[in-house]
Amino acid sequence: MNHYYSLLPLSVMLLLLLTACSNSSDFRRLPDGSEYRGELRDGLLHDRGEISWPNGDHYQGEFFAGKVQGKGVLTRANGDRLSGHFVDGVLQGFGEHENADGDIYRGEFKDGEYHGLGEEVMSYGMRRQGLFLYGLPSGMGVYQWDDGEAYIGNFTGGYFHGFGHYRGEEGHYTGDFTYGYFHGEGHYVYADGREEKGYWQRGHFVGEEPNEREQLEVALKVERAFLQQDLLLEEQLNQLSEGDPDKVELYLLTMALDGEQSVFAREITTINQVMDQRFATKTRRLSLSNHPDTLSQWPMASLTSVPKAMQAIAKKMDKQQDILFVYLTTHGSEDHQLSVQAPGMDLHDLPADYLGELVHALPVKWKVIVVSSCFSGGFIPHLEAPEHLVITAARHDRTSFGCSDDSDMTYFGRAFFSEALPQAESFQAAFAAALEQVTAWETEDDYTHSEPQMRVGEEINQYLQQWLDSDG
């Protein structure tokens, strides 16, 4: 469900002066074909009125100085109905949205999005109440289903995250959650009376006490690997081929930043294989990963190693003609930081502005940057440039999906690399196909659409096409 409701270009169209006398009420056809009936003041739409647009949208309510301003009701051509207080054409404060499927939200809006206290009642029998942040449940809230399933507790980005209580058909759980999983200390009571009380990891019960010996061994493994980073990175760089001055080549840098889950490391393994087959990158790629299973294979990812790897791979390239393809996959936060996690280590997350600084500082001219995480659209303003193609797995205020350990790849990673890219004529075509596929999967799963984003720099658009038309 799309939670962003802007009436643009209303703010432009409604400011058109109408050839009418002051303080009149009349029917007018506007230059763009819209039809308005209502009050006018000084030639502007003002006070009460209604307007219909050629695209089928209709608004009835208050206007002020040529703008949709005040209480009103907007009915979209697709059946969505929005009511409440509009400011400059978007809902602000308390309002209501009912979509064509019968889903209803009542609560606070900010800039046209669900933001603040609210309640959403879904047509398929689920109700959620509490705090919303840019369209998604965040903070304390409640989920309830018609069949009795329920959750009360903390949310982040729409996920159960933090402390909470879950009740389902098989039993009920009280304790810690991480991105929708039982994770941490918790107590599960099954419907038949059995109990599991202790520590959970990604939905699986691991024991009454944390396995401190196992955790210590993993932490030591990670720490030893961290001390060997320079050597491991040097070994990887020695395997990279130098750029061919007579040919445009693509170099690949893939990074699985969150090592607490295996899905991200598995994803870049698959991506490396796809890119090797399509663009012959086997001797022109470098990978970073924080998962314990890859520590002997790839260097780790941190705020120290990420810029070092970028600069090192750039040294192997022809900086004016070769193309650097960078892929980052991990969890993301509402304030646009990428999660950087390794078991037993305290690593700093990677903020959007810092990643932007790193990318822009690279001496390589042509870059394709793909960020796969929740809220990754917030990285676009920091990464875009005429020589850059930037792709993200979600809008700046939306979560992405598929980042669980029972998946081999995230939704976007699978759609873009495994499903679309092997046959696509370009990265842009692969994105278009992936967007369609991800939207279909999310619709099938009743998820709020992540809305992957793409920004194509003017210069790289032509350069990539020339490269692909030759022998790319």
User: 93-107, 130-144, 162-176, 224-238: which range is least confident on average?
Assistant: 224-238
Position 217 pLDDT exceeds 70: no
What does the pLDDT read at residue 41? 84
3-state secondary structure 388-442: EEEEECCCCCCCCCCCCCCCCCCHHHHHHHHHHCCCCCCHHHHHHHHHHHHHHHH
Considering the entire predicted model, what is its pTM? 0.63
What does the pLDDT read at residue 216? 60
Other C-beta atoms within 10 Å of 400: how many?
A: 30
- Rounded distance, CA 205 to CA 118, Å? 34
Position 230 pLDDT exceeds 80: no
Mean pLDDT of 335-354: 87
Q: Is 135 left (phi over 0), alpha (psi -120 to 50) or beta?
A: left
Which two structure tokens, joined as six digits, stand for 1?
């469900």
- Rounded distance, CA 149 to CA 155, Å? 17
Altogether, the residues listed in the chain come to a count of 472
Residue 22 backbone phi and psi in degrees, to 5: -65, 150
Cβ neighbours of residue 143 under 8 Å, at least 6 residues apart? Answer: 126, 127, 128, 137, 149, 150, 151, 152
Which helix (H) or strand (E) segment holds residue 153: the answer is strand 150-156
The answer to whether residues 116 and 131 touch, using CB atoms and an 8 Å cutoff, is yes
Identity of the highest mean pLDDT range in 156-170, 217-231, 295-309, 429-443: 429-443
**135-155 per-position pLDDT tens digit:** 888 888 999 998 889 999 998
**102-137 per-position pLDDT tens digit:** 899 999 999 888 999 999 998 888 899 999 887 888
Choose among 411, 405, 408, 409: nearest CA to 201: 405
Dihedral Cα 296, 299, 304, 309, nearest 10 deg: 160
**420-469 per-position pLDDT tens digit:** 999 999 999 999 999 999 999 998 888 889 999 999 999 999 999 899 88
- Separation in Å, CA 423 to CA 63, 275, 393, 418, 467: 51, 12, 20, 10, 16
Q: Which domains can be identified in the chain, with CATH numbers?
A: 10-207 (2.20.110.10), 228-470 (3.40.50.1460)
Which two structure tokens, joined as six digits, stand for 66?
């040529």
Identity of the highest mean pLDDT range in 255-264, 333-342, 410-419: 410-419
- Separation in Å, CA 31 to CA 76, 329, 391: 21, 47, 37
Position 218 pLDDT exceeds 80: no
The stretches of 195-253 forming alpha helices (DSSP H) are 212-227, 229-238
The mean predicted confidence, pLDDT, of the chain is: 87
Burial of 437 (0-12, 13-18, 19+ CB in 10 A): middle
Query: Is 265 strand, coil or helix?
Result: helix
DSSP output for 345-359? B----EEHHHHHHHH
Query: Is 79 strand, coil or helix?
Result: coil
Other C-beta atoms within 10 Å of 146: how many?
A: 10
What does the pLDDT read at residue 223? 64
Residue 53 backbone phi and psi in degrees, to 5: -105, 155
What does the pLDDT read at residue 294? 85
The answer to whether residues 113 and 104 touch, using CB atoms and an 8 Å cutoff, is no
Beta bridge partners of 96: 83, 106
Position 9 pLDDT exceeds 90: no
Which is more confidently placed, 408 or 207?
408
- Rounded distance, CA 194 to CA 232, Å? 48
What does the pLDDT read at residue 228? 66
Which two structure tokens, joined as six digits, stand for 213?
């010996």
What does the pLDDT read at residue 1? 41
- Cis ω for the linkage preceding 9 (within 30 of 0): yes
